[in-house]
Chains A and B, each alone.
Chain A
């Protein structure tokens, strides 16, 4: 058990809307990474948060933003949703050996 929780488990939105996904890492783990996994693909790195700051970012547009709270939990925000944003969104705790949560399945119609 990775100890990483994510909410919600599933979400349906329409194009142009905004969405917020949440992640709580295992207690004491101060780093959160977010990944996007399209159907049939491997996860792709979105960004990583450490000590409430974005430490590194992958090749994702500014529509994707995040936040980390003092208790190390994190949010992923996506604005102006596109059909192509439909995917499983995963968060992982720690850097180095990363353990993933169950993910949030986002469907954009």
Chain B
């Protein structure tokens, strides 16, 4: 089955700096890669996603890049703000296959943005 590795496990940055979180996946059939933000006591919130037919996607301060050959994808947050502090999870799935979109998650990254 799919295996997703996420690094780093913790990330501390100063407000205004950039933050990068990296994930690798094992199943070449995976074609959908969402990123979730989880705040304390809440469920994961989808912040951005990318499909395997594109290499990069941006949404304001957030961007995701995908390298299918290396089976690697990354989340980039620019101009970080204290409210970006949370746990971030990457995930992978084969959205169109017999796994019916089952998500396999990474272990999470605790991001702390210091004012």
Binding site for B on A (CB under 8 A): 2, 4, 31, 33, 35, 40-45, 48, 50, 55-56, 58, 88, 90, 92, 94-103
Contacts and interface: CB of A to CB of B under 8 A. Distances in A.
Contacts of A4: 43
Given A96-B95, A97-B46, A101-B43, A42 B102 contact: no
Contacts of B108: 40-42
B104 A45 contact: yes
Interface residues of B, number: 25
A55 B100 contact: yes
B101 A98 contact: yes
Nearest to B4: A42
Contacts of B32: 96-97
Contacts of B99: 56
A43 B42 contact: no
B44 A56 contact: no
Contacts of B107: 41-42
A97 B91 CA distance: 11
Nearest to A48: B100
Given A90-B43, A98-B34, A43 B103 contact: yes
Contacts of B4: 42
Contact of B89 (A43, A56, A97): A43
